[in-house]
Amino acid sequence: MTNSVVDGVVDRPTAAAPAEPGPSVWHRLRPFLPLVALAVAAILPYSTVHLPGIFEGPLNSPGTLQLLAICLIFGGLAAGYDLLFGRTGMLSFGHALYFAAGVYGTDILVTKAGLPLWQAALLTLTGGTILAALLGAVALRTVGIAFAMVTLALAQVGAILVARDFGGLTGGEEGLPLDVSGLPAALVGVTNTVNLYWLALAYLAVVVLVVHRVTASPTGRVLAGLRDDERRVGVLGLDPYRFKLVAFTLAGGLGTAAGTVYCLIVGGASPHITSSELTLSLLVMVVLGGPGTRWGPVLGGILYMYLDHRLTAFGASDAVDALPGWLSAPLSQPLFVLGTVFILAVYFFPGGLATLTHRLTPLRAALTRRRSPR
């Protein structure tokens, strides 16, 4: 309580203004959650916990670590693709081409050319990035549906070259097994699956860091402007074509790096990774997680690949076979179950899984008001 005196007149006591509430513990700890999640994921291979029904073996078993590594790879691949779709507003149907370039480029340089892994990986990353820049320079002369069709056509050319065993390098329909004799010993063998898992985790961390730094930079703000209104960016004196080419090239380079790590995890290359279905799967991952968000595409990619692998085993299980025919037939098809999950997720969470906390906040507030005494 304070009294104020103005020209000899004493005002009534006034109450001090209440102090503004400081940030909650959650908001203070929230910036450190990614580091906590990274630390937990890094020490996960030391855990012997077994989760029946979720994984076939303990967390530190080679099969579980390989599945988790593949999920991490596609989480990073989806985050890189979101740089095009969610951040810049470009719908590309040919992003699988750069992932396939990473897989086949690494495999060919190690198996056919006999190069050490570090040289093969560096050359593959450089070649994939240059390929993205060259093809992007052509495709970005178009916009909208025309751009999507051009990227699809370019990807189909790559798929045909792989299927026809161009130059006797790709192995055609049989694929190309990786010659592990040219790899470091730490990346060969079932017992070293943990090292491949850590490699996949490192790739995901690098992709998230790169995408976050780009989107937080002035270039990222221009990309967001291109997504919202490209003509306004042009009016400001900026060249939309140049910025879109930067995003396209960077996304292609990140996709190529994903292919290199994926080749090491699965031990070779197969032609299914060149199909346009992979790009469509990436689009589903991004939409499922939340386009244009920091963690949505990562979560969408991890969840999609986990369900894709686990539903295949679930569809062939005895529990599904014991169900009536009208129910076991659709449940035995992983794509049917994935499609159903995707439709339900889009219907109930249009913004993706990343918006789940925001949508649940009003519900939690309503429940709190109902429980509080009047």
Q: What is the DSSP pairing of strand 268-269 with strand 9-10?
A: unpaired
Phi and psi for 6 in degrees, rounded to 5? -130, 115
The predicted pLDDT at position 360 comes to 62
Phi and psi for 154 in degrees, rounded to 5? -65, -40
The predicted pLDDT at position 339 comes to 82
What angle separates helix 33-43 from helix 193-216, to the nearest 10 degrees? 170
Phi and psi for 177 in degrees, rounded to 5? -65, 150
Closest to 33 (Cα-Cα) out of 21, 41, 23: 41
Dmax over CA atoms of the chain, in Å, equals: 101
Q: Which helix (H) or strand (E) holds 70?
A: helix 62-88
> Could you give the CA distance from residue 166 to residue 150 in angstroms, rounded to a whole number?
22
> Which residues make Cβ contacts (< 8 Å) with residue 299, sequence separation at least 6?
75, 289, 290, 353, 354
The predicted pLDDT at position 300 comes to 93
Q: How far does CA 60 lie from the centroid of its chain?
A: 23
The one-digit pLDDT tens for each residue of the chain (374 residues) are: 455 554 544 555 555 555 555 556 656 777 778 888 899 999 999 988 888 878 888 999 999 999 999 999 999 999 999 999 999 999 999 999 999 999 999 999 999 999 999 999 999 999 999 999 999 999 999 998 999 999 999 999 999 999 999 888 999 999 999 999 889 999 998 889 999 999 999 999 999 999 999 999 999 999 999 999 888 888 888 999 999 999 999 999 999 999 999 999 999 999 999 988 898 899 999 999 999 888 999 999 999 999 988 887 777 777 777 777 777 777 777 778 888 888 888 788 778 888 776 666 665 566 566 665 55
Q: 5 in helix, strand or coil?
A: strand
Phi and psi for 75 in degrees, rounded to 5? -65, -45
Provide the b/e sequence for 121-151 (b: ≥16 CB within 10 Å). beebbeebbebbbebbeebbeeeeeebbebb
The predicted pLDDT at position 25 comes to 61
Tokens of 153: 């056509």
Tokens of 347: 């219907």
76 exposure class (CB count in 10 Å sphere: 0-12, 13-18, 19+): buried
Q: How far does CA 361 lie from the centroid of its chain?
A: 26
Tokens of 143: 């916009």
The predicted pLDDT at position 123 comes to 97
The predicted pLDDT at position 35 comes to 87
The predicted pLDDT at position 328 comes to 77
Q: 169 in helix, strand or coil?
A: coil
> Could you give the CA distance from residue 110 to residue 104 in angstroms, rounded to a whole number?
10
Closest to 241 (Cα-Cα) out of 256, 223, 224: 223
Tokens of 315: 């569809």
Phi and psi for 159 in degrees, rounded to 5? -65, -40
Q: Do the beta carbons of residue 48 and residue 59 sit within 8 Å? A: yes
DSSP for 150-191, please give it: HHHHHHHHHHHHHHTTGGG-S-GGG-EE--GGGS-GGGSSGG
> Could you give the CA distance from residue 374 to residue 361 in angstroms, rounded to a whole number?
21
Residue ranges covered by each domain of the chain: 55-275
